[in-house]
């Protein structure tokens, strides 16, 4: 009988750090100028999606072997349903409270979030329920839900046919995404349904590209490829990763950023289509983190970040509500005083921590379980 999976607190802590990073990036303060892609051409979203996939693969690959695909479908389907319920709740708040504030105050930052809904309310409600219309800030959960629903099939196919086939197909799909697959599918969708939903209302994330992060994350969680093993770790891979990460970090935070952020180089670092240099940058950072993971237990595996990571779903949803509230109060934050901005940041982090504490208290009656999201 296989031993139960040991919970790795440093991964919970890392997920908590990613949630804080995401919150600082989304809040309308000057802090986001520094927090946005601080490590190079990588954002918190890449880390959050990848780490969630790793943990999902780590838990459910074993459950697939022990309990079969029906059990995995049931468990992940239930989790996707829970996520969907949270998403509908967020949409309900956005379409009522936030929309009313946007119309009453004519706050441009809020109107920009809900422009399609404000112009086509009925279509916006129906399309959002079907996960077609995805307003800004509310576009990552639908992608996450769809990835969860596809996970049982991916894990089953990986164990049956081998991960090389799955990874090759995923890479092929990512490649076609770089050449406009999403626009082609959208054009076909409009032709068949005569929909008037603009492409921009379907969410910023190109799922045909971002699926690569999820698939690779499931693969890593399922079997940990040799290059990610901490000991012995390939010295050449580690040195190369360090060099790549350092070079791209310098490019991101110097005048070279203006060069790379313009045509014809911009597609290489495009976030929404997950450009090639972003993949390279992220891979280098993952290898570097894998090399130092044992040392991170001492500082990343304890403290508030762990609580935030263990309540990742609730904290993520809470951070969206906090961002909506901040946008309603200060708009884009361009004319906000430093003292008010500090107050926004401190209040936001405190509220997230209180949410995490409340979730921890609710779970004290149950025994610790491996991460499943």
Residue 34, burial from CB neighbour count under 10 angstroms (0-12, 13-18, 19+): exposed
Q: 109: which 2 tokens?
A: 């930052």
Using CA atoms, how far residue 354 sits from 265, 307, 311, in Å, is 43, 10, 11
Using alpha carbons, list the distances in angstroms from residue 307 to 18, 120, 206, 315, 368: 13, 40, 31, 10, 13
Domain count, the chain: 1
pLDDT-above-70 percentage for the chain: 92
pLDDT value for 233? 56
Query: What pLDDT was estimated at residue 6?
Result: 65
The closest alpha carbon to 371, from 54, 84, 155, belongs to 54
Residue 328 lies in a domain: yes
147 contacts 53 by C-beta, under 8 angstroms: yes
Is residue 130 one of the residues assigned to a domain?
yes
Mean pLDDT of 93-100: 93
Looking from the CA of 206 toward its CB, the CA atoms found within 13 Å total 24
Q: Residue 165 domain-assigned?
A: yes
User: Residue 1 domain-assigned?
Assistant: no
Residue pLDDT, tens place only, 226-249:
555 545 556 788 889 999 999 999
| Domain containing residue 134 | 9-362
Burial track 106-127 (b if 16+ CB lie within 10 A, e otherwise): ebebbeebbbbbbebeebbeeb
- What pTM was computed for the model? 0.91
At residue 224, the 3 state secondary structure works out as: coil
């Amino acid at each position: 009988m296989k031993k139960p999976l040991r919970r790795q607190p440093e991964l919970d802590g890392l997920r908590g750090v990613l949630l804080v990073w995401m919150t600082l990036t989304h809040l309308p303060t000057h802090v986001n100028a520094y927090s946005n892609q601080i490590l190079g051409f990588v954002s918190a979203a890449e880390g959050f999606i990848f780490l969630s996939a790793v943990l999902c693969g780590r838990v459910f690959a074993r459950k697939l072997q022990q309990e079969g695909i029906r059990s995995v479908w049931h468990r992940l389907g239930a989790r996707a349903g829970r996520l969907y319920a949270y998403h509908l709740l967020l949409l309900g708040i956005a379409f009522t409270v936030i929309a009313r504030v946007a119309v009453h105050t004519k706050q441009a930052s809020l109107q920009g979030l809900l422009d399609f809904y404000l112009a086509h309310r009925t279509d916006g409600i129906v399309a959002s329920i079907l996960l077609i219309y995805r307003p800004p800030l509310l576009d990552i959960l639908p992608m996450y839900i769809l990835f969860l629903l596809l996970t049982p099939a991916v894990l089953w196919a990986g164990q049956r046919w081998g991960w090389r086939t799955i990874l090759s197909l995923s890479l092929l799909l990512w490649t076609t995404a770089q050449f406009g697959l999403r626009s082609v599918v959208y054009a076909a969708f409009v032709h068949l349904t005569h929909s008037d939903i603009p492409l921009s209302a379907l969410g910023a994330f190109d799922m045909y590209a971002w699926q690569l992060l999820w698939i690779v994350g499931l693969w890593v969680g399922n079997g940990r490829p040799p290059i990610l093993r901490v000991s012995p770790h390939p010295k050449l891979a580690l040195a190369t990763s360090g060099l790549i990460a350092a070079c791209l970090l310098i490019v991101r935070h110097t005048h070279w950023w203006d060069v790379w952020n313009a045509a014809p180089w911009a597609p290489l670092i495009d976030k929404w289509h997950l450009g090639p240099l972003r993949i390279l940058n992220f891979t280098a950072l993952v290898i570097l983190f894998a090399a130092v993971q044992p040392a991170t237990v001492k500082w990343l595996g304890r403290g508030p970040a762990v609580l935030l990571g263990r309540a990742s779903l609730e904290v993520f949803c809470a951070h969206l509500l906090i961002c909506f509230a901040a946008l309603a109060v200060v708009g884009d934050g361009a004319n906000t005083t430093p003292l008010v901005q500090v107050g926004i940041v401190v209040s936001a982090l405190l509220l997230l921590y209180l949410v995490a504490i409340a979730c921890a208290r609710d779970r004290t009656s149950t025994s610790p379980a491996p991460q499943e999201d």
